[in-house]
């Protein structure tokens, strides 16, 4: 019974309550006008609550692991320089791009233990987040995480075609832990993770990731880049 209750009664992110309330009011108005339209309003209210769900996650705690910052599909793994606004080494490093559709959990999580060295918001466009140029041209919020032994990770929240709000709850010089919630993007978006030089991703393109749980990389490992295929 506890498992069923936890699956149904998922916490809602605080950013969602104004939207859920607004949809509920619209549903009541639609019921006054027409019962069939009212049920459409109920369905939209339920979807809004579903979108803003904020479930707990079980994060691997072994030192050196990098976990996924978001739920979604690993859309692309490629070499790319980190965002210039973060002041990091401009040499290309492996970038893992995770695309979230409107049905995924949109709460974002810290990928590794460390300290927030920088947080930089960059205004931009709202093209489809699945496109290559979204990393460079779209509105984004970039974080630089300082890790142990002088290493660092770049983490970028990217707005999408229908996303119009990036929320980040961490500040520079704040100590963070892997799996901690740090923000949310609405509605439909993408998160990029730039791994330290020489570190390969332990996921494959097309794989679904779970924020705070799926291991993206092992900072102490030496495994070659993974390949995957649909079966």
- Which value, to the nearest 10 degrees, does the dihedral of the CA atoms of residues 94, 110, 49, 208 take? 30
Is residue 108 a contact partner of residue 148, using CB atoms and an 8 Å limit?
no
Quick check: 133 pLDDT over 60?
Answer: no
| CA dist., res. 104 & res. 107, Å (int) | 9
| CA dist., res. 69 & res. 164, Å (int) | 19
Catalytic residues: 189
At 194-213, the pLDDT tens digits run 999 999 999 999 999 999 99
Q: Among candidates 156, 158, 125, which has minimal Cα distance to 142? A: 156
Cα dihedral across residues 227, 92, 169, 147: positive or negative: positive
Greatest C-alpha distance within the chain: 64
Which of 41-50, 57-66, 169-178 is predicted least confidently? Answer: 41-50
User: Higher-confidence residue: 159 or 218?
Assistant: 218
DSSP letter at 201 equals: B
Q: Among candidates 181, 182, 187, 193, which has minimal Cα distance to 165? A: 187
Is residue 52 a contact partner of residue 16, using CB atoms and an 8 Å limit?
yes
The CA-CA-CA angle for residues 157, 159, 78, to 5°, reads 60
pLDDT for position 182 = 95
* Second CATH level (architecture) for the domain 65-218: Distorted Sandwich (2.70)
| CA dist., res. 29 & res. 38, Å (int) | 7
The Cα-based distances of 139 to 29, 71, 108, 173, 217 in angstroms read: 35, 20, 16, 23, 26
DSSP letter at 224 equals: P
Predicted model pTM: 0.85
Map out the domains of the chain as residue ranges. Answer: 2-51, 65-218
Which of 21-25, 133-137, 140-144 is predicted least confidently? Answer: 133-137
DSSP letter at 125 equals: B
């Amino acid at each position: 019974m506890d498992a069923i209750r936890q699956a149904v009664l998922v916490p809602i992110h605080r950013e969602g309550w104004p939207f859920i309330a607004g949809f509920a009011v619209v549903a009541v108005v639609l019921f006054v006008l027409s019962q069939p339209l009212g049920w459409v309003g109920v369905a939209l209210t339920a979807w809004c609550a579903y979108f803003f769900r904020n479930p707990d996650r079980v994060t691997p705690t072994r030192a050196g692991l990098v976990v996924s910052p978001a739920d979604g599909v690993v859309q692309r793994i490629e070499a790319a320089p980190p965002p210039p606004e973060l002041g990091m080494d401009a040499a290309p490093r492996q970038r893992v791009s995770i695309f979230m559709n409107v049905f995924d959990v949109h709460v974002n999580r810290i990928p590794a233990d460390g300290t927030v060295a920088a947080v930089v918001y960059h205004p931009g466009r709202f093209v489809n987040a699945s496109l290559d140029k979204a990393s460079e041209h779209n509105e984004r919020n970039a974080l630089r995480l300082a890790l142990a032994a002088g290493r660092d990770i770049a983490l970028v929240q990217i707005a999408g075609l229908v996303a119009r709000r990036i929320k980040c709850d961490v500040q520079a010089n704040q100590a963070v832990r892997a799996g901690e919630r740090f923000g949310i993007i609405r509605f439909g978006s993408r998160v990029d993770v730039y791994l330290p030089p020489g570190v390969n991703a332990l996921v494959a393109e097309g794989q679904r990731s779970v924020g705070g749980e799926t291991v993206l990389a092992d900072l102490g490992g030496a495994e070659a880049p993974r390949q995957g295929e649909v079966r």
